[in-house]
Amino acid sequence: MLELTPEIRNAARALIIRQDRILLLRKEGGGRAERFALPGGAQDPGESLTDALNRECIEEIGTEVDAAELVHIADFIKLRDTQPPTRRHVVDFLFRCTVPDYYLPRNGERPDKHQVEVLWVDLAVLEQMPLFPQYLSSCIPKLGDANRNLYLGKFDDHAAPQEH
């Protein structure tokens, strides 16, 4: 049986869209199939969410971002790559961001553990891609919806929302 670690972890994620393309990390390994994720990661104690977002983006994609707007918050139960397997409760804060006009996709100096590359992906093919966490597949297409919810609810690694 999987254990849930007692700590809740905040994570800030960058939703970067330019000319109908989204900036994603391609990941492999860790006992999982190829998957794609937004840049960003865990907030350190004493760090603001936007400072955490910029630190993580410098590490993962090699540039700072301009965090323009908080677009979603979601509770997420993440399967961790530990022995024995455990799960961690993560609160994801998704910010609509921009990168400098001259930015070209590249790994930063300290990429995520399973990060292979950074790339622009056409929004039109996003629904066919394995996104991690999976709830991103349902929320990213609804970003233009004026009635979208800021709080998305609680999600498990491979499941639909559990509660709102």
Highest mean pLDDT among 1-15, 77-91, 106-120, 142-156: 106-120
Say if residue 154's pLDDT is above 90. Answer: no
Instruction: Determine how many CB atoms are found less than 10 A away from the CB of residue 91.
Output: 15
What is the predicted pLDDT for the residue at 130? 95
What is the predicted pLDDT for the residue at 26? 98
How many angstroms separate the CA atoms of 26 and 34, rounded? 7
Contact 21, 27 (CB under 8 A): no
Least confident of 6-10, 49-53, 82-86, 150-154: 82-86
Rg for the chain, CA atoms, rounded? 15
pTM equals 0.88
The model's confidence at residue 157, banded by pLDDT at 50, 70 and 90, is: low
What is the predicted pLDDT for the residue at 155? 80
Percent share of the chain, pLDDT over 70: 91
What is the predicted pLDDT for the residue at 47? 96
> What average pLDDT does the segment 103-124 reach?
95
Contact 140, 62 (CB under 8 A): no
3-state secondary structure of 8: strand
Instruction: Determine how many CB atoms are found less than 10 A away from the CB of residue 32.
Output: 14
Pair of tokens at residue 58: 């410098």
Pair of tokens at residue 47: 């760090």
Rounded to a whole number of angstroms, the distance between the first and last alpha carbons of the chain is 25
User: What domains are defined for the chain?
Assistant: 3-156 (3.90.79.10)
